[in-house]
Amino acid sequence: MSLKKSFVLALSNILYDKMRSILTMLGIIIGVAAVIILVSLMNGMAKMMTDSFAEMGLTTITISTTNRGGSRTIDEEEIYAFRDEHPDLISGVSPTTTISGTVKYQTNSVTTSATGVSEEYATMKSLELQDGRFLQYQEIADYKKVCVIGSYIENELFGFGSALGESIKINGNSYRVVGVLKETEESKSGSADDVIYIPYTTAVRVSRSGTISSYTLTAPNQEIVTTATDALEAMLLEKLGDSDYFRVTNLLSLLDVATEMLDMMQILLVCIAGISLLVGGIGIMNIMLVSVTERTREIGIRKSLGAKGRDIMSQFVIEAGTVSGVGGIFGILLGSVLAIVLGNLLGLTATPSIGAVLLSFSVSVGIGVLFGYLPAKNAAKLNPIEALRHD
Amino acid sequence: MTPLIEFKDIYKIYQMGDSAVHAIDGISMQVYSGEFLAIVGPSGSGKSTCMNIIGCLDVPTKGSYFLDGKDVSHMNDNELAEIRNKKLGFIFQQYNLIPKLTVQQNVELPLLYAGLSEKEQAARAMESLERVGLADKAKNLPSQLSGGQQQRVSIARALAGNPSIILADEPTGALDSKTGKDVLDFLKKLHQEGNTIVLITHDNTIAAQAERVIRVADGKVVYDGIADIRKFAPIAHAGDTEVEQ
Ligand SMILES: Nc1ncnc2c1ncn2[C@@H]1O[C@H](COP(=O)(O)OP(=O)(O)OP(=O)(O)O)[C@@H](O)[C@H]1O
Ligand SMILES: [Mg+2]
């Protein structure tokens, strides 16, 4: 018998008893929906994570040093020299010294921190300016008291007015605002808009320690980050003598760790979803077994009309596959809608991937066929005379 | 001329614990193409067992059954299914239509298992429904039809595959006398058109409508001859009421 015809017959069978069909499909619907939701949300989360890492700069390498007890130190000249020797490994260098404190303009004040950086920092971090310009080499060389501020600071101190050219006080010292950065994160406190950049030379001079404890560097591309990190570590170890005195980190390795964790979580969640699909499959087997018993007479009639064991077998297998396939489609629809709704609530872009949809559809059809096999085999084995006598 | 049905000393023995039930106890008979045969007998005499063997739903314990010259007594399930599909058309007492399928789909079933194309299935099913005068009910479900109509659908289904033998087991058993008579008249008409019909009944008056009667009792043939009620009914089982008629 043609596949199309058996499929149509299976569909009309589903429609004949809608309530039971829906109950049969429920396990599959829930299982498939769970798979779709989980995979979509995980993908959304992974995407959000990579995006924010990318924003922070995956080519960024950070060096932090602790000078406790060590007689040997390293200064910025040596870091710059390393860059000049290895332009293939390091493209940008900026010492970074953070001072925290209160920033004031007239009567307005805000508690935040200012970061001392070099003139290269804007390029390294792809900072975009809304007004004015970034710090310049000469200002750094001359220990100038100038600053570039984020939009959050401008809003807090100047309201709707412009900060450009005005002087603000950081811990009592006056700094002239030479540039205002473009808003990136809705000007929230603690965000990338809550920043003040000043020349690192100035920062070192006003800070208590008087030394540079960390450096931000960039590699020319992501592929080279690990090599560059290793080379920096080797150089620092040679200069400082002990790996306890410094740390070289990059976001790429952090991302790897985070991705690994996310992958593990995904495996766990998919296992859970798999269990619910299994339960759905057992539900289908259960109903198919009942259905074979109920339809014993039908099987007898079909056999008396010339149906062979394999005809009956394929009829029930196709029916089980169709039931769970249709359930799978419902599950995909339900799961997609819920994934998008939940994604919106969580602030993620959780669109179900084609892969997840295809996979869960074929898994649900497969489960139907697999779990429909045993009942179908029972049906195929029935003796026609006994089956006809059944009522 | 080879007989269409030939039983050679057929036995069907059921082993019930220690005792053996001889449902058919050595029957030999020959039925030729174009005959209208009624097998009659009281309850438990072995009619249904006989019909199951003729209908290739079951195989005999002993003896040989030749259908259209071919020995079918030792065939396997798949071969028997093939024979049922090609050579036999069943009409059951309980109509045995599949309730979920439309009238047309029911009639298409034997054609479906014969591997006909969908177009051909539909065409032949409609043709067959036309013959029983129910073409207009093709899209209905069996439950929307009267008992007599349902039995006519089952006749249409039996005819659809153009079988060599039409086997009817108590076809009027579930119908009132009027519709029962219609069904019988239809079977007679089919016979006149040249079909071979084997009718199974416990009712002598119905058996008398046939051309030839085989009377069975306790698994044995006790009468085989023309359908003259005076000839086969006097030796009827004591429980049969039709004797007086
Ligand atoms: N599967 C079986 N197992 C054991 N005994 C059986 C089986 N089928 C039939 N029999 C026995 O064989 C005998 C003949 O049964 P059968 O069904 O052929 O009778 P019948 O003439 O059709 O009766 P009725 O008119 O009541 O339908 C009976 O005694 C019955 O008990
Ligand atoms: Mg019987």
Contact B100 A13 (CB under 8 A): yes
The set of protein residues with a Cβ atom below 6 angstroms from ligand 1 is B 14, 16, 21, 23, 41, 43-49, 202
Q: Please answer yes or no on whether B100 and A5 come within 8 Å at the CB atom.
A: no
B78 touches chain A (CB under 8 A): yes
pLDDT at B53 over 60: yes
Q: What is the DSSP letter of B139?
A: T
Same domain, A268 and A350: yes
pLDDT at B214 over 50: yes
B19 in a domain, yes or no?
no
Among the ranges given (A173-182, A203-212, B182-191), the one the predictor scored with the smallest mean pLDDT = A203-212
Least confident span in A103-107, A198-202, A269-273, B200-204: A269-273
Mean pLDDT of chain B: 90
B58 touches chain A (CB under 8 A): yes
Is the CB of residue B201 less than 8 Å from the CB of residue B4? no
Nearest-CA neighbor of B92 among B151, B29, B10, B142? Answer: B151
Nearest Cα of chain B lies from the Cα of A295 at a distance, in angstroms, of 9
Query: Does residue A232 form part of some domain?
Result: no
What is the atom index within ligand 1 of the atom nearest the CA of B51?
18
Query: What mean pLDDT is predicted for residues A116-134?
Result: 90
- Give the confidence band of B242 by pLDDT, cuts at 50, 70, 90: very low
Q: Do A261 and A382 belong to one domain? A: yes
**Is A101 among the domain residues?**
yes
Among chain A residues, the shortest Cα distance to B110 is held by A305
Q: How many domains does chain B have?
A: 1
**pLDDT class of B160 with cuts at 50, 70, 90:** very high
Same domain, A104 and A17: no
| H helical segments located in A106-250 | 121-124, 137-141, 151-158, 200-206, 225-240
Domain boundary, last residue among A211, A234, A267: A211
Distance B16 CA to ligand 1 centre (A): 12
Residue B198 phi, psi dihedral angles, 5° rounding: -115, 120
Residue A67 clears pLDDT 70, i.e. is over it: no
Q: Is 80 exceeded by the pLDDT of residue A313?
A: yes
Residue B78 with chain A: CB contacts under 8 Å: 308-309
Provide mean pLDDT across the span A169-175.
Answer: 91
Using the Cβ of B59 and the Cβ atoms of chain A, whether some distance falls under 8 Å is answered with no
* pLDDT for residue A69: 55
Position B239 pLDDT exceeds 70:
no
B1 in a structural domain: no
Average pLDDT, chain A: 86
Domain count, chain A: 2
Residues A114 and A180 in one domain: yes
Q: Please, which pLDDT band fits residue A212 given cuts at 50, 70 and 90?
A: confident
Instruction: Encode pLDDT of A30-56 as tens digits.
Output: 888 988 888 888 888 888 888 887 777
Tell me the count of A-B CB pairs closer than 8 A.
65
* B22 found inside a domain: no
Task: Look up the domain containing B194 and give its range.
Answer: 37-45+82-226
Mean pLDDT value of segment B32-61: 93
Q: For residue A262, what are the domain limits?
A: 3-52+257-389
Phi, psi of A202 (to 5 degrees): -65, -45
Please tell me the predicted confidence (pLDDT) of residue A71: 62
Q: Is B219 on the interface with A (CB under 8 A)?
A: no
For testing contact with chain A, the best of B49, B52, B53, B100 (most A CBs within 10 A): B100
How many Cβ atoms sit within 10 Å of the Cβ of residue B144?
Answer: 12
pLDDT of residue A77: 86
Tell whether B96 is covered by a domain. Answer: yes
- pLDDT range class, residue B244, cuts 50, 70, 90: very low
The answer to whether A391 and A302 are in contact (CB under 8 A) is no
The pLDDT of B69-95, averaged and rounded, is 92
Are A45 and A113 in the same domain? Answer: no
CATH number, domain with residue B183: 3.40.50.300
What ranges in chain A are assigned the alpha helix state H? 3-16, 18-56, 76-85, 121-124, 137-141, 151-158, 200-206, 225-240, 251-294, 296-304, 309-346, 354-381, 384-389
Does A225 reside within a domain?
no
Q: Each residue of B109-132: pLDDT tens digit?
A: 999 999 999 899 999 999 999 999
Is residue A84 a part of any domain in this protein? no
Residue A290: its pLDDT value, please? 86
- pLDDT higher than threshold 60 for residue A1: no
Is residue A58 situated within a structural domain? Answer: no
> Is residue B41, in this structure, part of any structural domain at all?
yes
Residues of B in contact with A308 (CB under 8 A): 77-78, 81-82, 113
Residue A40 in any domain: the answer is yes
pLDDT tier for residue A273 given thresholds of 50, 70 and 90: confident
Mean pLDDT of A78-93: 89
Percent of chain B at pLDDT above 70? 96
Residue B55 domain flag: no
What tens digit of pLDDT does each residue of B199-209 get?
Answer: 999 888 889 88
Mean pLDDT of A234-245: 85
Q: How many whole angstroms from its chain centre is CA A340?
A: 15
- Are residues A262 and A203 part of one domain? no
Widest distance between CA atoms in chain A: 105
pTM metric for this prediction: 0.71
Is the domain of A384 the same as that of A312? Answer: yes
- pLDDT-derived band at A117 (thresholds 50, 70, 90) equals very high
Residue A353 DSSP one-character state: P
Cross-chain residue pair B112–A1, CB shorter than 8 Å? yes
Q: Tens of pLDDT along A352-375?
A: 888 888 888 888 888 888 888 888
At B245 the pLDDT is 39
Per the domain annotation, does A60 fall within a domain?
no
